[in-house]
Amino acid sequence: MVLLSLILLPILLLLLYFIVRPRPVTIPIKNRHVFVTGGSSGIGLALAHQAASQGARVSLLARSLNKLQEAKESIRRSSGLDVSIFSADVRDYDAVQKAVNDAGPIDVLVVNQGVFVPQELEKQGLDEIKFMIDVNLMGSFNVIKAALPLMKERKDRLPASISLISSQAGQVGIYGYTAYSASKFGLRGLAEALQQEVIADNIHVSIVYPPDTDTPGFEKENEVRPELTKLLAGSSGSMKADEVAKKALDGIKSGSFTVPCNFEGHMLAIATAGLSPQRSFLMAFIEVASVGVLRLVGLFFQWNWYQTIENWHAKKNSKFAIIELSIYTLE
């Protein structure tokens, strides 16, 4: 058995070396135009800082002009470089298209905007659901569609990149994330299909899966998270925006399709690889070799989550029963 494994291993590695697609690539950043949506704060601003420090020409798009001006000044202070800023709502295609045309051809597009209002579906208003889908998903379509024509016409013909910032909630659904997960899961389908459409133009798509990230938006989200959401999602820990930005930019530069940001993210990336593109034959080997084990691990996680949900509801029902009994006794 061991001998057979030793014979099959190099054959499998050789096979994977020849069949992984797209082929490995390096995306240059220095002296290239990096356009970041949602770039006035959080991950987007942190990524803009790092791109500028590596010699990129940076453009930022966000809704608030005041926050954009503050972001511009902070990048100027840290890197000595000026950046272009554009105030637009990603839900407004015409406004996005004007901003993109004014910015000029883009080499690296980072689609980073995102909103999140955690709530159970039954309790959440349709206006909030639509807001998340319009910003997170439709906004991404608007930005990419506006940028693609000029990206395809870029003069240097060096490898270009389109990166979508998703979430680990775009890999696995969690209680209270119903609408948000739907909007982030959609980005993967967009990314996989788009990669096939733009590969002939030497444009390479990445999708980044950050965990909870310490940003102003995360602080607001924590204030309204359902109790069960905190119990289920709180165990994965959080990262600083600078840490996520570094992982994202490294993934973009290496042309990786899937870009995880921490250990849990790597495990999720392998467990949910499915039919997603894979440039690294070594990573493809890990996916092939570990898929069965990680499925078992995933089932244990599901068991733990559903046990937590069951216990929480039992505790909640017990409290209601005690209250009702107390009222009945008083009567």
> Active-site residue numbers?
166, 180, 184
Q: Report helix, strand or coil for 212.
A: strand
Contact assessment for residue 128 and residue 77, using Cβ atoms and an 8 Å cutoff: no
Query: The tokens of 81 are what?
Result: 């470089």
The residues, ordered by sequence, that sit 6+ positions from 5 with a Cβ below 8 Å of its Cβ are none
User: On the CB side of 292, how many CA atoms lie within 13 Å of its CA?
Assistant: 1
Residue type, 318: S
Residue in this structure with the two tokens 């597009």, named with its chain if needed: 109
Q: How far apart are CA 205 and CA 198, in angstroms?
A: 8
| Nearest of 182, 179, 38 to residue 118 by alpha carbon | 179
The residues, ordered by sequence, that sit 6+ positions from 161 with a Cβ below 8 Å of its Cβ are 27, 107, 108, 109, 203, 204, 205, 206, 252, 255
Could you give phi then psi for residue 239, rounded to 5 degrees? -130, 160
DSSP symbol at 209: E
